[in-house]
Amino acid sequence: MNIYPILFIILSFGSMIGAFILEGGSPAMLLAETAAIIVFGGTIGSVGLASSPKRLKNIPAMIKLVFTSKDKDLVEIVNYFKQLSFKTRKEGLLSIEGEITDDLDPFIKKGLQLVVDGVDPQMVKTILEFELESTYDRHKENYAIFEAAGGFAPTMGVIGTVMGLVQVLSNLADPAVLGEKIATAFIATLYGVGSANLFFLPIGVRLKDLNNEETKEKELIIEAVLLMQEGANPNILAEKLKGFLDKTQVKKFNDMNNEVEK
């Protein structure tokens, strides 16, 4: 479980509610069943209409991914292929067949298997890049659901507020309850804008970020497999793959290899 998303959700919602309380408000004042039904029911209905059932089934898994995902260890992957390259230069490409185990990353496993099978390098590149593009497009469709929800929710909030104000204007004869009814009407806008900017859109952005990270990881793997297949010097292979790393990761990789050399 990645605790950071949970902490930031608590921070965002807690800050708003806390500030409201400091201004003299009560959390109970923010509760309105009718507003919740209009905003969340309407948003769910709109998203359902705009998406296929297959994509909707992925929503629980996508939310779970946000709270369980870990950063990609690109340094470990570069180091793995550097060591594997030493092995292939000494024992040949067929020697990596023993490295293809069930616990290996599926994308790495597929690339190595293609190499062991003697598939032409250009075909290896085509196959792996096609899988990369398919994965990217599939993930893009998934996080688009949350981007759509982030667009629908505020609109549903406005609709809820307008509906509430219609009731207010139809009961002007009772001024004693006007303030309460107007406040309740605007709760719908709060729900819509709040849920969009504190949940739906951040989830979508996080999923997009995870998709970009996975894309970068797969691009690194494709380059590593092709370099290894063409028999590149292990050190040259590592230097080329370091182009996928940021400064912190490069330092980590260099420190790891310096320790090994000692």
Same domain, 80 and 173: yes
Q: What is the pLDDT along the chain (262 residues), one digit of tens a residue?
A: 778 888 899 999 999 999 989 988 888 888 889 999 999 999 999 999 999 888 899 999 999 999 888 878 899 999 999 999 998 888 888 888 888 888 889 999 999 999 999 999 999 999 999 999 999 999 998 899 999 999 999 999 999 999 988 888 777 766 666 777 788 889 999 999 999 999 999 999 999 999 999 999 999 999 999 999 988 899 999 999 999 999 999 999 888 877 655 5
For residue 120, give the 3-state DSSP assignment: coil
As for how many domains the chain has, the answer is 2
Same domain, 84 and 182: yes
Same domain, 9 and 54: no
Same domain, 197 and 106: yes
Among 199, 191, 213, CA closest to 146: 199
What pLDDT score does 90 carry?
86
Same domain, 6 and 92: no
The span from the CA of 241 to the CA of 259, in Å, is: 20
Same domain, 17 and 37: no
User: Is 120 exposed, middle or buried (CB count within 10 Å of its CB: 0-12, 13-18, 19+)?
Assistant: exposed
Same domain, 61 and 153: yes
Same domain, 68 and 128: yes
The span from the CA of 194 to the CA of 56, in Å, is: 22
Same domain, 22 and 39: no
Domain of 211, in residue numbers = 33-262
Same domain, 22 and 50: no
Same domain, 123 and 164: yes
The span from the CA of 65 to the CA of 109, in Å, is: 23
By the 8 A CB rule, do 33 and 174 touch?
no
